[in-house]
C-alpha cells in the first residue's frame, strides 16, 4: 500500500522536559487539523523538527521511539542550525521578501548555506524512509529545496508541495540571489499548490522568466515530467469555531461572552501575531483617526488589540513592539476616560475558550494585514457567528482570504480614510445586512473547510499520478523501442522523415542560431551511410538555410513545410503565387513596430512573425489582436495561418508536410517508414504514413503519432540507436 509522507518544518507536537521526563503535547494549527482529518486508509508518516534543540543522543533515541508510535519522525537541529536556517534564511530572508518587505530582506551567505544544509538533512531522513509508490507532501517556505532533493533520489515518486505564504511577483522574486535554486527546488514536485490565483500566476511567471519553463493552463514540462500548478485555498475546522462549547464546555464560553458584553459597547477585535506584515500600526492609527473624526462614538466603541508575541529577538520585531506600545499608550493617554479605554491592549496569546468567546462577543473584526498568505482568523470570526448571525468583518484586500470572503468590508490597509469609513459602516450596518453577508460567507466556509483543502490537494495529486501513468502508455519505453528497432533491422528499404526545430535541435531565441552541432551531423551521416535508408529532413525552414546547414550531407529535404522539395540534389517547387506577401508583410510590420524584440522571417513562399525573445503573454496578446486581420487578409487567397511555438506563419494552404511526405511515399515502396516531429505541422506527416509506420511526437499532448518521446535528447538517443 502507498503511504502518505508529510514533511513540514515543525512536527504537530510540542516536546517539554520536566525533571528529566519528556512530555508531548499536540500542536494547535490548521495544517495538523486538516491532515489528521483526511479520509484515507493510507499509513501516514510525518517528518519534521520537534521544536527545540535535543543534542543528547540518548534523549534523541527516546524521542524517536516515543514519536514512532504516532507515525512521527523527528529531524534534530542544532541551535546554530535553528538560528541560521530557521530564524535566519527562512524568517529574515524568505519571509520579508515574499511579503514584499524587501527593506528587511537579509542577504547572508551563511544563512543560505545553513538553509541548504538543513534541507539536505531533511532529505537524508526522508530518503531513508521513502518508497517509490509513496505520496510525499512537502510544506512551506522553510523547505523549498526539498522537493528537488527527493526527486533526485526517487525519480518516480509522487511529490506535492504547498506554499502557505504569498509567492511574490516576478519583479520582487528576481531580486533574490538564490532565486533559481529556490525555484528549481520547488519544481522538483509533481503538484505545487498556492492559496490564491495571484500567487500561482506569480510563480508561473517566475518559472518562465527565470527558468524558461513555459506552462499550458498551469501545467509545466520539467525534465521529462509534467508539473501541475494550481490553487487550493486553505479553510478552517468550521464546527470548532461555530460550536466551541462542544470542545471546552458551554458554561465556560458563555461566562466569558457575558463578561465581554457587559459594558454595552461596540467591541472591535484585532488578533494578530506580532509581525510587520500584519499592518498593526496602520490599524491603530486608523482607529485613532476614527475617534477623532467621529467623536460621537467615543465611549461607545472599544478596540481590543491582541498581539501574540513572535520572534522577540529579531530587531525589526523589537522595533515593531515598541511602536505598537507607544501608539497605544499615546491614544489611551489622550482619549481615555474614567469609564472607557479606547484600546484594550493584550500582548499575549489566549487559550481557545477565551478566544472563542472573543469571536462570539465581538461586533466587528478588523483583519487588515499589509500582506497575508490566507489569514484564518478572518474565517474563524465568520464561523463563530453561526448562531447569532450578527457581526461585521473588515478585511484587507491584501489577505488571501479576501478572494473568498467577498461579502466582508474589503479595504486597502494603507488607506486610513478607507479604514475609518469601513469602521463607521460596520457600526451602523443593519442586522439584516449583517446576516445576509454572514450567511453567504458561512456557506463558503462550511463547504471549503480545512478537511476539504487537504483532501482536494491529495485527490488531485493521486489523479495526477494516474494521469501520468496513462500518458506514459504511449511513451516509447524499452519494450516499444525494441519492437521499433527489430522492425528497422528486418527492413530492406526504409524511409525516415525528420523534423528539424524542436526535434533534432532545441529552440533558441534567435532561429538563425540553431545550427546543427557535431553530434547531430554525425547521427545524420551515420543514417545516410546505410544504403537501406532514405533520410528526409522535413522542416518549416527556408531552403537556403537547410542547404547551408545540411546540404553537404546529400540528404533529401522539404523546406517551408513542403513548398520546396529537394530530391536527388535538385530543388523543385509547384507553381505557387506569392503576390500576397506585401499585404501580409505590412500587417506583420505593424506587429513588430508595436512589439520590440519580435521580428519577421521572410521565406520565398511564406512569411513568419517570431516572438521568441519577448514575454510570451505579450506575444500571445498581439496574436489575438491581429488574428482577425490575418484571417481576413488570407480568406480569399488560399493561404493558411499557422500558430506554432512562439511563431505565427502564413503560407500557401495547398501545401503541407503531409503532402510532401506523400511525394516520397509515392516514388517508391518501403517496408519501414518512420516520422518524428514536435508540433502541429508534423501531424500532417504522421497522417500521411501507412498504418504500420512508426510515428513519434516529441512532447506530450494529443497527437496522431503512435508514440511519444519527451525531448530532443530522447530523439537523439533513439536515432543513435537506429544508426548503430
How confident is the model at residue 641, as a pLDDT? 83
How confident is the model at residue 489, as a pLDDT? 94
Extract the C-alpha cell encoding 152.
533526485
Within the chain, what is the greatest distance between any pair of CA atoms?
105
Q: What is the pLDDT of residues 636-684, one digit of tens each?
A: 777 888 887 788 888 887 788 998 999 999 999 999 999 999 988 899 9
Domain at 395, CATH number: 3.40.50.2000
The cell 517539554 sits on which residue? 16
Decide which of 600, 629, 654 is a domain's last residue. 654
- Residue 452 domain-assigned? no
DSSP assignment letter at 139: E
Q: What is the pLDDT of residues 293-316, one digit of tens each?
A: 999 999 999 999 999 998 777 788
- Residue 92 domain-assigned? no
CA distances in angstroms from 5 to 38, 42, 50, 161, 420, listed in the order given: 13, 10, 16, 12, 47
Same domain, 318 and 427: yes
Between 513 and 364, where is the model more confident? 364
Decide which of 654, 685, 704 is a domain's last residue. 654
Instruction: State yes or no: is 16 an active-site residue.
Output: no
Same domain, 226 and 165: yes
The residues pairing with 18 across neighbouring beta strands, listed in sequence order, are: 21
Domain at 629, CATH number: 3.30.70.1020
Residue-range definition of the domain harbouring residue 329 = 238-447
CA–CA dist 659, 495 (Å, integer): 15
Between 694 and 28, where is the model more confident? 694
For residues 602-608, average pLDDT: 86
- Residue 84 domain-assigned? no
Same domain, 504 and 633: no
How many Cα neighbours within 13 Å face the side chain of 96?
19
Residue 82: pLDDT band (50, 70, 90) is: very high
- Residue 464 domain-assigned? no
Smallest CA-to-CA distance from 374 within 482, 283, 277, 266 is with 277
Domain at 692, CATH number: 3.40.50.1000
Q: What is the pLDDT of residues 418-428, one digit of tens each?
A: 999 999 999 99
Same domain, 682 and 587: no
Q: What is the pLDDT of residues 555-602, one digit of tens each?
A: 999 999 888 999 988 999 877 888 888 888 888 898 888 888 889 988
Same domain, 21 and 66: yes
Smallest CA-to-CA distance from 488 within 667, 671, 714 is with 671
CA 541, 545, 551, 552 torsion: positive or negative?
negative
The full length of the chain comes to: 724
Same domain, 620 and 708: no
The residues pairing with 4 across neighbouring beta strands, listed in sequence order, are: 44, 135
How confident is the model at residue 511, as a pLDDT? 73
Same domain, 248 and 342: yes
Count of the separate structural domains present in the chain:
4
- Residue 402 domain-assigned? yes
Q: What is the DSSP string of 457-522?
A: HHHHHHHHHHHHHHHGGGB--HHHHHHHHHHHHH-SSEEEEE--BTTTB---SSGGG----HHHHH
CA–CA dist 561, 540 (Å, integer): 5
Smallest CA-to-CA distance from 159 within 134, 196, 183 is with 134
Same domain, 409 and 330: yes
Same domain, 353 and 434: yes
How confident is the model at residue 24, as a pLDDT? 87
DSSP assignment letter at 294: -
Supply the mean pLDDT for the chain: 91
DSSP assignment letter at 274: S
Q: Is the pLDDT of residue 512 over 80?
A: no
Same domain, 281 and 220: no
Q: Is the pLDDT of residue 52 over 90?
A: no
Decide which of 202, 231, 260 is a domain's last residue. 231
Extract the C-alpha cell encoding 454.
487537504
- Contacting residues for 10 by C-beta, under 8 A, at least 6 apart: 27, 48, 49, 50, 51
Q: Is the pLDDT of residue 29 over 70?
A: no
Cβ distance 182 to 140 under 8 Å? no
Q: Is the pLDDT of residue 441 over 70?
A: yes
The cell 503512435 sits on which residue? 706
- DSSP-based three-state secondary structure for 456: helix
Q: Of 499, 542, 678, 684, which is the active-site residue?
A: 499
Q: What is the pLDDT of residues 451-490, one digit of tens each?
A: 999 999 999 999 988 877 666 667 788 889 999 999 999 9
CA–CA dist 713, 716 (Å, integer): 5
Extract the C-alpha cell encoding 281.
500600526
Cβ distance 302 to 335 under 8 Å? no
Task: Give, to the nearest 10 degrees, the angle between helix 146-153 and helix 179-186.
Answer: 60
- Residue 110 domain-assigned? no
Cβ distance 74 to 11 under 8 Å? yes
Same domain, 625 and 707: no
CA distances in angstroms from 595 to 308, 609, 610, 612, 644, listed in the order given: 51, 11, 11, 11, 18
Smallest CA-to-CA distance from 516 within 494, 537, 495 is with 537
> What percentage of the chain has pLDDT greater than the value 70?
98
- Residue 435 domain-assigned? yes
For residues 310-337, average pLDDT: 91
Q: What is the DSSP string of 564-607?
A: EEEETTEEE------TTHHHHHHHHHHHHHHSTT-EEEE-SSEE
- Residue 182 domain-assigned? yes
Same domain, 45 and 140: yes
Amino acid at each position: 500500500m502507498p503511504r502518505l509522507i508529510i514533511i513540514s518544518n515543525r512536527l504537530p507536537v510540542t516536546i517539554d522536559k520536566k525533571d528529566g521526563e519528556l512530555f508531548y503535547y499536540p500542536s494547535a494549527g490548521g495544517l495538523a487539523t486538516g491532515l489528521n482529518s483526511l479520509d484515507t486508509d493510507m499509513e501516514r508518516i510525518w517528518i519534521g523538527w520537534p521544536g527545540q534543540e535535543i543534542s543528547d543522543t540518548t534523549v534523541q533515541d527516546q524521542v524517536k521511539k516515543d514519536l514512532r508510535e504516532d507515525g512521527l519522525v523527528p529531524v534534530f537541529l542544532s541551535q546554530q542550525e535553528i538560528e541560521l536556517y530557521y530564524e535566519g534564511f527562512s524568517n529574515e530572508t524568505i519571509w520579508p521578501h515574499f511579503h514584499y518587505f524587501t527593506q528587511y530582506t537579509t542577504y547572508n551567505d551563511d544563512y543560505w548555506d545553513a538553509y541548504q544544509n538543513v534541507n539536505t538533512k531533511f532529505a537524508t531522513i526522508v530518503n531513508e524512509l521513502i518508497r517509490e509508490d509513496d505520496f510525499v507532501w512537502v510544506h512551506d517556505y522553510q523547505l523549498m529545496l526539498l522537493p528537488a532533493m527527493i526527486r533526485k533520489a526517487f525519480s518516480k515518486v509522487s511529490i506535492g508541495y504547498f506554499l502557505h505564504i504569498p509567492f511574490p511577483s516576478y519583479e520582487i522574486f528576481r531580486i533574490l540571489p538564490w532565486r533559481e535554486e529556490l525555484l528549481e527546488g520547488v519544481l522538483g514536485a509533481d503538484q505545487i499548490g498556492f492559496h490564491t490565483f495571484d500567487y500561482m500566476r506569480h510563480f508561473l511567471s517566475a518559472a518562465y522568466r527565470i527558468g524558461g519553463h513555459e506552462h499550458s493552463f498551469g501545467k509545466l514540462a520539467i525534465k521529462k515530467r509534467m508539473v501541475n500548478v494550481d490553487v487550493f485555498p486553505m479553510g478552517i475546522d468550521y464546527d470548532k469555531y461555530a460550536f466551541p462549547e462542544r470542545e471546552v464546555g458551554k458554561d465556560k464560553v458563555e461566562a466569558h461572552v457575558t463578561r465581554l458584553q457587559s459594558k454595552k459597547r461596540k467591541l472591535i477585535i484585532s488578533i494578530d501575531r506580532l509581525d510587520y506584515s500584519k499592518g498593526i500600526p496602520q490599524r491603530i492609527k486608523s482607529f485613532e483617526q476614527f475617534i477623532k473624526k467621529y467623536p460621537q462614538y467615543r465611549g461607545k466603541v472599544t478596540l481590543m488589540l491582541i498581539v501574540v508575541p513572535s520572534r522577540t529577538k529579531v530587531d525589526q520585531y523589537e522595533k515593531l513592539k515598541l511602536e505598537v506600545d507607544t501608539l497605544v499608550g499615546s491614544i489611551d493617554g489622550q482619549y481615555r476616560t474614567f469609564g472607557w479605554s479606547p484600546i484594550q491592549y493584550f500582548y499575549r496569546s489566549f487559550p481557545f475558550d477565551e478566544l472563542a468567546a472573543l469571536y462570539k462577543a465581538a461586533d466587528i473584526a478588523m483583519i487588515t494585514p499589509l500582506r497575508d498568505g490566507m489569514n484564518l482568523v478572518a474565517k474563524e470570526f465568520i464561523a463563530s457567528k453561526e448562531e447569532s448571525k450578527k457581526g461585521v468583518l473588515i478585511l484587507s484586500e491584501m489577505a488571501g482570504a479576501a478572494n473568498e470572503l467577498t461579502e466582508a468590508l474589503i479595504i486597502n490597509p494603507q488607506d486610513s480614510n478607507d479604514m475609518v469609513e469601513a469602521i463607521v459602516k460596520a457600526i451602523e450596518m443593519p442586522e439584516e445586512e449583517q446576516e445576509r453577508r454572514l450567511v453567504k460567507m458561512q456557506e463558503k466556509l462550511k463547504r471549503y473547510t480545512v478537511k476539504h483543502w487537504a483532501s482536494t490537494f491529495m485527490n488531485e495529486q493521486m489523479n495526477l499520478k494516474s494521469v501520468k501513468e496513462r500518458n506514459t502508455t504511449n511513451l516509447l519505453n524499452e519494450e516499444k523501442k525494441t519492437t521499433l528497432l527489430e522492425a528497422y533491422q528486418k527492413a530492406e528499404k526504409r524511409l525516415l522523415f525528420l523534423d528539424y526545430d524542436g526535434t533534432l535541435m532545441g529552440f533558441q531565441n534567435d532561429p538563425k542560431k540553431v545550427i546543427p552541432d557535431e553530434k547531430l551531423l554525425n547521427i545524420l551521416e551515420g543514417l545516410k551511410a546505410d544504403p537501406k535508408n532514405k533520410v528526409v529532413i522535413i522542416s518549416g525552414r527556408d531552403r537556403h538555410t537547410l542547404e547551408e546547414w545540411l546540404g553537404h550531407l546529400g540528404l533529401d529535404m522539404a523546406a517551408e513545410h513542403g513548398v520546396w522539395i529537394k530530391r536527388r540534389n535538385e530543388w523543385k517547387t509547384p507553381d505557387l503565387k506569392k503576390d500576397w506577401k506585401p499585404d501580409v508583410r505590412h500587417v506583420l510590420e505593424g506587429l513588430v513596430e508595436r512589439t520590440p524584440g519580435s521580428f519577421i522571417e521572410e521565406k520565398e513562399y511564406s512569411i513568419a512573425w517570431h516572438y521568441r525573445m519577448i514575454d510570451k503573454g505579450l506575444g500571445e496578446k498581439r496574436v489575438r489582436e491581429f488574428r482577425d486581420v490575418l484571417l481576413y487578409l488570407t480568406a480569399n487567397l488560399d493561404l493558411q495561418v499557422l500558430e506554432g511555438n512562439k511563431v505565427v506563419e502564413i503560407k500557401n494552404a495547398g501545401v503541407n508536410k503531409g503532402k510532401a511526405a506523400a511525394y516520397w511515399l509515392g516514388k517508391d515502396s518501403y517496408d519501414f517508414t518512420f516520422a518524428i516531429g514536435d508540433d502541429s505541422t508534423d501531424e500532417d506527416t504522421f497522417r500521411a504514413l501507412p498504418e504500420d509506420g512508426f510515428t513519434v511526437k516529441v512532447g506530450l499532448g494529443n497527437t496522431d503519432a503512435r508514440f511519444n518521446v519527451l525531448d530532443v535528447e530522447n530523439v537523439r538517443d533513439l536515432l543513435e540507436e537506429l544508426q548503430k
